[in-house]
């Protein structure tokens, strides 16, 4: 588990902070509500979920980088029992089946075996008095997606179940069941887990992957049953990120008696009403009723026809053409930000430091015009500008350098509680300035585009 020293755990809901409670109503089901004001930057949830790797360089269970790429587990997870075929990736092509099987083996055998003697668990219609990721009831409170049951008729799934059940014959728990009982128990448990994972599982990307916006293979997929209680809003008041298999949520400013609301991938300031509606219907299977969606609101600047800025930035042979193109993009259009990110990906952009510095400035100004004033979305441009300014790669007055450092430090602290991979470098700049009065004495000079370089490691 990732340690977050500032986190104050809830007595009844240990993955949530002590400033919230869990409630229920017919419209929202279970939801998280603040019992007092929660200042910006306060950690509201720390949940180590049940995860399985997608990228084989990560440990199958905890997602640490493994020392031996041919071995599925890191040293700390070697004792965890699960059929080797699953951990070693033989069933990866079966999608959600891999995570569902892992869930079956992550909870006590007695809890799994009892499923065969009872009806399918139904989501409760009341607020819990207590709830934890470690309790199987945390899985049962999630809304199932019964349509996934049809997938179990596929020959590939049936063959996988048969192989796994046969491998459990020597297990100290499963082996006590005869072949038929073992098959029935595993199949039912697998289906129940798959139904609850289908619309509640998360694809896990590292902070570096999210901010570099490269099309990288995700680290893993996983189920975070407590985090799943947070409902969606297109104007969220919390933000979340992953550190390996731990999901961390941070307040962006929540008032007492307000519901804590996450974004499931789309927001009012980044997407049109049509984009939000289509995404949520296809990925999460529901219609959003937040205020902006209820009124079918979109920012006009997002509704204008898009060209293809990524293609323009990638293919341009003359950078003055890109500069001219940016000047013709309507103020506030996300097209400008997409163009800048695409330009920053170009290997030769490192040689145009002054230009890229000005581009990141435009990025921030453009996003703020659209209403994004304090958001993890602004972390990358501020980090990039800070690196350029404090490495003396660009001409920058001391006042501007300090302003960039202060804003970047606050963003990293309040959005990522200093768990961002570059937090230590930004703190170092601040310490150098405080102790020596200048970054000239600093021995920790950072390369440009550090985020990309971190991702490449």
Structure tokens at 435: 């102790």
State how far the alpha carbon of 428 is from the alpha carbons of 369, 387, 397, 405, 407, in Å: 31, 12, 19, 10, 15
Comparing 317 with 422, the larger pLDDT belongs to 422
- Which H or E run contains 406? helix 398-416
Among 203-212, 316-325, 357-366, 428-437, name the one with the lowest average pLDDT.
428-437
The pLDDT tens digits for 81-116 are 788 888 888 888 888 899 999 999 999 999 999 998
The pLDDT tens digits for 159-181 are 999 999 999 998 899 999 999 99
Beta-bridge partners for 240: 249
Q: How wide is the angle at C-alpha 416 spanned by C-alphas 220 and 66, nearest 5°?
A: 35
Per-residue pLDDT, 136: 95
Report residue 342's pLDDT band, with 50, 70 and 90 as the boundaries: confident
Q: Is the pLDDT of residue 49 over 80?
A: yes
Beta-bridge partners for 43: 250
Report residue 217's pLDDT band, with 50, 70 and 90 as the boundaries: confident
Q: Are 30 and 229 in contact (CB under 8 A)?
A: yes
Among 194-208, 262-276, 321-335, name the one with the lowest average pLDDT.
321-335
Comparing 454 with 8, the larger pLDDT belongs to 8
Which residues neighbour 379 within 8 Å (Cβ) at sequence distance 6 or greater? 211, 408, 411, 412, 415, 416, 420
| Mean pLDDT, residues 428-432 taken together | 65
Structure pTM? 0.90
Per-residue pLDDT, 442: 42
Q: Is the pLDDT of residue 452 over 90?
A: no
Per-residue pLDDT, 377: 94
The pLDDT tens digits for 241-273 are 999 999 999 999 999 999 999 999 999 999 999
């Amino acid at each position: 588990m990732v340690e977050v020293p500032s986190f104050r755990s809830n007595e009844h809901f240990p993955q949530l902070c002590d400033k919230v409670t869990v409630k229920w109503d017919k419209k929202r089901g279970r939801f998280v509500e603040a019992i007092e004001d929660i200042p910006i930057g306060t950690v509201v949830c720390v949940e180590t979920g049940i995860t399985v790797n997608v990228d084989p360089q990560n440990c199958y269970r905890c997602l640490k980088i493994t020392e031996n790429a041919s071995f599925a587990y890191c040293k700390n997870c070697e004792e965890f029992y699960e059929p080797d075929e699953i951990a070693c990736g033989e069933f990866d092509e079966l999608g959600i089946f891999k995570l569902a099987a892992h869930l079956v083996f992550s909870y006590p055998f007695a809890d799994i075996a009892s499923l065969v003697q009872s009806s399918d668990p139904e989501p409760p219609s009341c607020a819990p008095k207590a709830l934890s990721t470690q309790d199987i009831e945390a899985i049962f409170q999630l809304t199932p997606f019964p349509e996934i049951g049809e997938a179990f008729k596929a020959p590939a799934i049936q063959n996988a179940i048969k192989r796994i059940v046969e491998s459990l014959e020597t297990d100290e728990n499963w082996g006590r069941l005869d072949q038929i009982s073992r098959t029935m128990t595993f199949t039912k448990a697998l289906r129940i887990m798959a139904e609850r994972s289908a619309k509640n599982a998360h694809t896990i990307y590292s902070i570096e992957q999210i901010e570099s916006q490269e099309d990288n293979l995700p680290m893993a997929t996983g189920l975070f049953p407590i985090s799943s209680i947070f409902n969606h809003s297109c104007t969220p008041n919390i933000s979340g990120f992953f550190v390996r298999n731990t999901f961390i949520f941070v307040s962006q400013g929540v008032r007492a008696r307000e519901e804590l609301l996450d974004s499931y991938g789309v927001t009012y300031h980044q997407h049109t009403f049509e984009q939000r509606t289509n995404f949520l219907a296809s990925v999460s299977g529901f219609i959003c009723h937040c205020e902006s969606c209820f009124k079918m609101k979109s920012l006009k600047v997002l509704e204008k026809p898009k060209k293809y800025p990524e293609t323009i930035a990638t293919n341009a042979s003359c950078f003055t053409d890109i500069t001219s193109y940016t000047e013709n993009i309507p103020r506030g259009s996300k097209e400008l930000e997409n163009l800048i990110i695409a330009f920053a990906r170009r290997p030769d952009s490192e040689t145009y430091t002054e230009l890229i510095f000005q581009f990141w400035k435009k990025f921030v100004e453009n996003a703020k015009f659209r209403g994004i004033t304090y958001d993890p979305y602004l972390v990358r441009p501020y980090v990039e500008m800070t690196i350029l300014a404090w490495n003396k790669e660009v001409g920058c007055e001391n006042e501007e350098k300090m302003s960039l450092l202060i804003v970047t430090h606050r963003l990293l602290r309040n959005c990522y509680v200093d768990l961002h991979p570059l937090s230590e470098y930004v703190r170092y700049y601040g310490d150098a300035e405080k102790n020596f009065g200048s970054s000239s004495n600093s021995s920790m000079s950072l390369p440009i585009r550090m985020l990309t370089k971190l991702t490449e490691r």
